[in-house]
Amino acid sequence: MANAAEKTKLKETIEEAEQLEESIYTEESYQAMKEALEYAKEIAAKETVTQKEVDEAEQALKEAMEALIERSEEPSESEEPSESEEPSESEEPSESEEPSESEEP
């Protein structure tokens, strides 16, 4: 078989992508990854496919997975993170969560 392209890495990347939780990513970024995933599945299912096609599908899927944006990081108005709020956010949770002196026997 001259057209037996190596698909092991592509299949592993597909499995990895299928484990991702849709609800924690923005709809737009997850949709882009899903499209790359569907294409990768099509390539993996083909019997006659070139190694180049397999490699390109794997690369596209990996790039889409890396480009996923978690919902908590979703920019609301601008794409730049606000610099003034960073220090105060990291200190607040540690102050409010100190139940070290509980009076239970």
What digits encode the pLDDT tens for the residues 14-71?
Answer: 999 999 999 999 999 999 999 999 999 999 999 999 999 999 999 999 999 999 999 9
DSSP, collapsed to helix, strand or coil, labels residue 70 as strand
Residue 4 lies in a domain: no
Residue 15 lies in a domain: yes
Residue 79 lies in a domain: no
- Cα-to-chain-centroid distance, residue 36: 12
Residue 96 lies in a domain: no
CATH code of 46's domain: 1.20.1270.90
Q: Quick one: tokens of 18?
A: 């299928």
How many other C-beta atoms lie within 10 A of the C-beta of residue 41? Answer: 17
Q: DSSP label at 25? A: B
- Cα-to-chain-centroid distance, residue 48: 29
- Residues recorded for the chain: 105
Total count of domains within the chain = 1
pTM here is 0.65
